Amino acid sequence: MFESIYKVLEDAQKLDQEEIAYDCYFDEDFQTIVINSNRIGQLTAGEDVNGGIVGTYSPNTDIMSEGLTFSFEGQNYEKIVGEPYNFVDSGDFFRSFRIIVQNDGFIIYANDQKVDGSLSEKFNAELLGLNDENIKRMVEALLPIFIRETRRVLLG
């Protein structure tokens, strides 16, 4: 009986937290939470990484998109004068979101190139990444995955 306990304790000393975190970053549920926090939680509200409003729709945009509704994943968005940009148009930008796992963490990638340049450059804003509120959500989402992966390593 005690051999099993000693084996788990021995294995616990060998745990590599960075390796476990690395494995967690590949979890599909985790990636979905991170991506949706960025694109749905922030960008559809017109927020950049720092929580600031990127800009608001002008009367010209309101006139050009009058009567149009833009949809992404079953949610409809409109471009209304004075409202923050929602970054929903053709959906290409939002569909391009990916998590790229690196040795020391991960990055959020999306193709923000449009005909007239990149969205980040056009709006002079950091669009890809999480604000403080969404970083907290990410950590909360990561914890059960981290625990599951730790159990997997410890219990084989």
Q: What is the pLDDT along the chain (156 residues), one digit of tens a residue?
A: 677 777 767 776 777 888 888 889 999 999 999 999 999 999 999 999 999 999 999 998 877 877 777 778 878 888 889 999 999 988 899 999 999 999 889 999 999 998 888 999 998 899 999 999 999 999 999 999 999 988 887 777
Question: pTM of the entire structure?
Answer: 0.83
Q: Residue 150: its pLDDT value, please?
A: 86
Burial of 135 (C-beta count, 10 Å sphere; 0-12/13-18/19+): middle
Which residues, other chains included, contact 52 with Cβ-Cβ below 8 Å and sequence gap of 6+?
125
Of 48, 72, 39, which is closest to residue 123 (Cα–Cα)?
A: 48
Q: Residue 78: its pLDDT value, please?
A: 85
Q: Residue 1: its pLDDT value, please?
A: 64
Q: Which residues pair with 44 in a beta bridge?
A: none
Rounded CA separation 43/126 (Å): 11
Q: Residue 134: its pLDDT value, please?
A: 94
Reduced to 3 states, what is the DSSP secondary structure of residue 114?
Answer: strand
